[in-house]
Every structure is written in structure tokens, then in C-alpha cells.
Amino acid sequence: MAFGTIKNVRKVFPVRPGSGGKEPVVALDDASFTFEKGELVALLGPSGCGKTTLLRIVAGLISKTSGSVMIGGREINEPLGDYGFVFQAPSLMPWRSVIDNVLFPMEILKRSDKAARVRAGELLELVGLSAFHQARPHQLSGGMQQRVALCRALIHQPNLLLMDEPFGALDELTRLEMNDLLLRIRKETGASVLFVTHSIAEAVYLADKVIVFSRRPARVSTEISVSLPYPRSQATRFTPAFTQAERTASEALGIVPHVEGAA
């Protein structure tokens, strides 16, 4: 059985009284795909097609209207805690030091012991922030803050990392560095990753599999298996296989017409 199974998930947001909306919003319509333990799946699709909604359903943060979500053999109907969530904004607590931000989830889980502190140190080393344990968020660049947010998402050793356009606000060079960092982290932790992005190149570079959604209400329009070898490096972006995968994703999004055998 797959580690994660999203099956026929539908989400309708009802009209909220006083919101001015006239029709319920069908955010997801029949979204289905599976993923394995340790697999990195990129979710790609037009703005507003329901990608964030799907991540929140997988996390158990919001309910689905119908369908099922199974993660690690358990049906998800409420937050089960075995996931880390990384958002586009790092949203660190400005009054806390870097290490105390990383340790925050462990305080909530009442597991903020010496072992947690050691693990926080290891994670900060992994992301190259060993020298910044006591720094405050405002003393860090945007990329550094997002590294701290990554450590915070991983501190309780989740099996699943949910990432919602985590590098979308970063400059191009920092984003490329963060892509490589994420591939390293995935390898070291063995966590599965669901990664929402608007960038076709980022999706192809990171993913084992790209799920392309149609316009809202989202359905899975295409599933692309990315067969680029590991380890991937920035040079991978200049290979014919990379261009081919980008083209396939672009065709699935309707950005370029499908041409048989084109690369």
C-alpha cells in the first residue's frame, strides 16, 4: 500500500453569511494521487486551483467534503501531528532566538528536553546556521529565516513535510540553494514531501513526481514521473531530460501545445 493515498477528494467552501459570495466555491473536485515514503511530489497548477486547500486537508487542518486521505495507514480527519508545515512566509516569533523558534513545536508537544535541543542543533548545522543559535529572526536574511522555518518543521521528526510555496518569496539564487538544501534534507530524513509551487523548473528539479492540477475546481490533469537521476545538481537543469520534463509539464498546464516527440 502507498504511504499516502489521496482519493477522490472534493472540497466545497459554502457561502459564508455576510461575505458577499453568492455561490459555494468548489475548490477541489475529485483530486486523486498516491505517494510513497520518502517520495517528493510537486503540486503544480494555476493560481487558485486548490493546492493550498489540498495541503490543509492532508494536514487535517480543514475537513474535506468527500473522498479520503490516508497517510501512513491512517485516515486523516483531524491533525495527527506527524507532519511539518512550511509556508511561504517563515512566520518566526521575533522575540525568540533562532534555537527557541526551532524548539517551539517541542514545547507544544511537551517534549522540549535535552534530546530535542541536541536535535535542534543538528538541524541548524544541516542548514548551515550553527553560528546563529542565539540570533533573533530580524538579524537573518529571508533565506536564513526560511531555513529556520524548515528546522522548526522537522524538529519532531515527521514522516511528512508539507510545503506551500516555501521559496516563492526568495530571490533566484537563494531559491536555487534552498532547492539543493531540500533535496539533502529529504535524503537525510527520509520524509515524504508534498511541495506546492508555481515554478515549473522548481517542480521538475525537486520532484520524483509532478502532479499537475487543472483550473479550479482542481482535478489531477496529469501525473509526470521525473526520471532525472540523483544526486541532482544545478547542471541537471541544462540536460535534455530536464527540458523534456519541463515541456511535458508546460503541455499539461496548456502553456505550450502538445507536439509529438518534441523536446
Ligand X SMILES: Nc1ncnc2c1ncn2[C@@H]1O[C@H](COP(=O)(O)OP(=O)(O)OP(=O)(O)O)[C@@H](O)[C@H]1O
Question: How many Å apart are CA 136 and CA 233, to the nearest integer?
Answer: 32
> What is the Cα–Cα distance from 109 to 29, expressed in whole angstroms?
34
5, 32, 52, 236: which one binds ligand X (CB under 6 A):
52
Nearest-angstrom CA–CA distance, 136 and 53: 32
| Euclidean distance between CA atoms 253 and 102, whole angstroms | 37
Which amino acid type is present at position 198? H
CB of 187 to ligand X, least distance (A): 27
Minimum CB separation of residue 110 from ligand X in Å reads: 30
Does 232 engage in binding with ligand X (CB under 6 A)? no
166 near ligand X (CB under 6 A): no
Listing DSSP states for 166-211 in one string gives TTTTS-HHHHHHHHHHHHHHHHHH--EEEEEES-HHHHHHH-SEEE
Instruction: Decide if residue 104 touches ligand X (CB under 6 A).
Output: no
Could you say whether residue 197 binds ligand X (CB under 6 A)? no
Q: Does 216 bind ligand X (CB under 6 A)?
A: yes
**163 touches ligand X by CB under 6 A:** no
Q: Which stretch binds ligand X (CB under 6 A): 45-53, 103-111, 148-156, 246-254?
A: 45-53
Q: Under the criterion CB under 6 A, does residue 51 sit at the interface with ligand X?
A: yes
Q: Which is nearer to ligand X, 45 or 166 (CB)?
A: 45
Rounded Cα distance between 249 and 143, Å, is 27
If one asks whether residue 53 binds ligand X (CB under 6 A), the answer comes out as yes
Residues in contact with ligand X by the rule CB under 6 A: 13, 25, 27, 45, 47-53, 216
